[in-house]
Structure 1
Amino acid sequence: MASQATFKSIRSLVPLLDRVLVQRFKADTKTASGIFLPTSATNNPLPEATVIAVGPGAPNKDGAVVPTSVKAGDRVLLPGWGGSSIKVGEEEYYLFRDSEILAKINE
């Protein structure tokens, strides 16, 4: 499992380099008709997330900083693995490298 850290406020966390802080969408716990789903059906994390904050970017082999490809507020598609888990109160966030994000979701 990914490493886990706990913070009092998400504002105290600023990603470095090409790291991206995201919050995964939560799975519905009941259907539209009101049927509650068992935890085994909602335990797997959804692959979609909202970007909360991004680092400034990472230097390439020539030393130029390459900015991250997403920005705060973007919806993204994440892999089913990886990321570093961060707890803030009851909320859970994840840090991923920009290159680990699979896609940006445009609406």
Structure 2
Amino acid sequence: MKLRPLYDKIVVERLEEKEEKTPSGIIIPDTAKEKPQLGKVVAVGPGKLLDNGELKPLSVKEGDVVLFNKYAGNEVEIEGKIYLVMSEDEVLAVVEDYSSLIGGEVRWQQRQLSTTRKQGQN
């Protein structure tokens, strides 16, 4: 792949999840699954451009496995493969020990918590 991201952009290849089955043994097709939110960084830009004109190096590097929001980045297809181009700011975390996740599951759920006021309190 010959793609060079600019500034604080990174290129991520999604990591495929293992085949999923229901408790009764029915295989869930790829079209019914959510896209994985785990990917391998395949290219990084030179850094974030600061207000003073300096480039701040990125925290992620090629080869890192990262966790990102399900709506992060823009999908691009290059040579038949789908990649995500995103800002480093869209990365939620770097997975330090990806080998421990192989064969396991990574579930990411965003929950919006609502707060309620007790009656009589301001």
Would the TM-score normalized by the shorter structure come out above 0.5? yes
Unmatched segments (≥5 aa) in structure 1: 1-9
Letter in 2 for 1:50: K
Aligned to 2:49: 59
Asked if 1:45 is matched to 2:35, the reply is: yes
Select the structure that is richer in strand.
Answer: 1
User: CA shift at 1:71, angstroms?
Assistant: 0.3
State how far apart, in whole Å, the 1-side matches of 2:88 and 2:80 are. Answer: 25
Where do 4+ consecutive residues of structure 1 move more than 6 Å?
none
State how far apart, in whole Å, the 2-side matches of 1:99 and 1:20 are. Answer: 10
Task: Report the TM-score, using the length of structure 1 for normalisation.
Answer: 0.77
Task: Report the TM-score, using the length of structure 2 for normalisation.
Answer: 0.68
Aligned to 1:19: 9
State how far apart, in whole Å, the 2-side matches of 1:90 and 1:47 are. Answer: 20
- RMSD of Structure 2 on Structure 1 (CA): 1.9
State how far apart, in whole Å, the 1-side matches of 2:62 and 2:47 are. Answer: 14
Unmatched segments (≥5 aa) in structure 2: 98-122
Asked if 1:81 is matched to 2:71, the reply is: yes
How many residue pairs get matched? 94
Q: Higher relative contact order by CA 8 Å / sep ≥ 6: 1 or 2?
A: 1
Task: Say if 1:29 and 1:36, in contact at 8 Å, map to a contact too.
Answer: no
